[in-house]
Amino acid sequence: MKAGNGKNQCKLCLKEAELQKSHVIPDAFLRKIKRSGQALTLKNNHSSHFKRTNLGKDFGAYEYLLCRNCEGLLSKEYEKYSLEFLRGRYKVEDHKGYLIYHGFDFERFYLFALSILWRASIASSPQWQGVTFPEGLIKVIGTCIKSKNLKLSASQSLDNFFKICLVKVTDKESLVRLTIDEMIIPFGRSQGNDVKDGVVYYFMAEGFLFLYYFKVENDIHVAFKERYQGQLRKRSLIKIPKINYDVVEEIHYCLQSIALAVQSD
């Protein structure tokens, strides 16, 4: 695509500017992983395409997407708070089966989570080809990120269309020697039997599975709602379910294949 020198259109503010190196996966997630020396990549939704790779190859990848102001906006307005939140900056209660996180700022965290998916949708690297949205939707999400506001109209809000759930993935038998907290599983996608079922994108970092349920209709899919209790809501504290990796269908096969690979090392 384009080189870094010269002016190009920033994908967020749409102004012509010198574009910065943008990581699709926030750099703060990557820095933590770098300590373990390896990254985990998922080529597509099939477990056989899952592999461990040395860092710097896929995960070090960046693209020229945003201008300096917009990079700053994402990092100051969304990433700083959200990373601190996930890492236990505020009070965290550990209960059987779930965690209660205090100090939750819904709009900020929601837009942080969605901005990662949004960056994947506008990035051109083949790594992100599974994440595609219509141009109009990319613009709508961009407008919400820029304005720090989820409202689309008097009656509609972005979170009517994208439900985001957060699940804490655990490994109670310690099968996976590379700890779950130090893994990143980039975007995968699962789809219902029917278009009307919607699409679920998922992404894992720091031991949290982010699930993005995208559906054009207003009602959330009942089965999904039943399965994932950790839907982000406008509350000052949120309940995050703890789920052992082997029961999370979306990541079960990936993690199982790591467990097998580790055992056969």
Q: Is 263 exposed, middle or buried (0-12, 13-18, 19+ CB in 10 A)?
A: exposed
Least distance between Zn ion and beta carbon 14 (Å): 7
Amino acid in the structure at residue 72: G
65 near Zn ion (CB under 5 A): no
Least distance between Zn ion and beta carbon 97 (Å): 42
Judge whether 109 and 81 are in contact, CB under 8 Å: yes
Q: Per-residue contact track with Zn ion, 13 to 52, x per CB under 5 A?
A: x---------------------------------------
Task: Return the half-sphere exposure (C-beta side, CA atoms, 13 A cut-off) of residue 210.
Answer: 26
Least distance between Zn ion and beta carbon 115 (Å): 13
**List 25, 42, 65, 70, residue binding Zn ion (CB under 5 A):** 70
- Which residue, 8 or 244, has its beta carbon nearer to Zn ion? 8
Q: What angle do CA 79, 80, 81 make, to 5 degrees?
A: 95
Q: Which residues contact 134 (CB under 8 A, 6 or more apart)?
A: none
Least distance between Zn ion and beta carbon 66 (Å): 5
176 near Zn ion (CB under 5 A): no
Stretch touching Zn ion by CB under 5 A, among 70-78, 152-160, 188-196, 257-265: 70-78
# residues contacting Zn ion (CB under 5 A): 5
145 near Zn ion (CB under 5 A): no
Compute the distance between CA of residue 131 and CA of residue 162 in angstroms, rounded to an integer.
Answer: 14
Compute the distance between CA of residue 55 and CA of residue 184 in angstroms, rounded to an integer.
Answer: 11
Compute the distance between CA of residue 243 and CA of residue 42 in angstroms, rounded to an integer.
Answer: 21
**List 19, 39, 67, 145, residue binding Zn ion (CB under 5 A):** 67
Least distance between Zn ion and beta carbon 127 (Å): 23
Compute the distance between CA of residue 194 and CA of residue 205 in angstroms, rounded to an integer.
Answer: 29
Least distance between Zn ion and beta carbon 158 (Å): 19
Return residues touching Zn ion (CB under 5 A): 10, 12-13, 67, 70
